[in-house]
Amino acid sequence: MSISGVRAKKDQLLLEEIQELDQKKEFFHQENIELSKKIDLIHQENMELQKKAYGKHSVNGTHRNSILTNDLDNGEDSNEPICLQLCQPQHQDHADRQQS
């Protein structure tokens, strides 16, 4: 086989490989589109279930458990988030000296 014959055979093999890869690319692209649509549907169903379970406040992230809002009701707007802070504990003898 001559050099030109080897080159022609190599070119043919490379073209076939490129075509096969293009077909795989198209297949994966279509599969990706289908999976994206499924994800969108699942996300939409999840949002609807959240609305049913928690009401519309859960969608924007401000929903609080109704048990907590009833127990911790401070007369403020129930849609506002609660801000909690940690404090250092005071020792009993330290507190007694401050009172004296």
Residue 84 has pLDDT above 50, yes or no: yes
CA quadruple 63, 41, 28, 30: dihedral sign: negative
Calculate what percentage of the chain has a pLDDT beyond 90. Answer: 50
Given pLDDT bands bounded at 50, 70 and 90, which one contains residue 67? very low
- Indicate whether this model's pTM tops 0.75: no
User: Which tokens go with 21?
Assistant: 């890869």
From CA 38, how far away is CA 42, in angstroms rounded? 6
| Structure-block tokens of residue 34 | 């289908």
Whether 93 has a pLDDT exceeding 80, the answer reads no
- The predicted-structure confidence for 4-42, as pLDDT tens digits, reads as follows 999 999 999 999 999 999 999 999 999 999 999 999 999
- Residue 88 tokens, joined: 């250092």
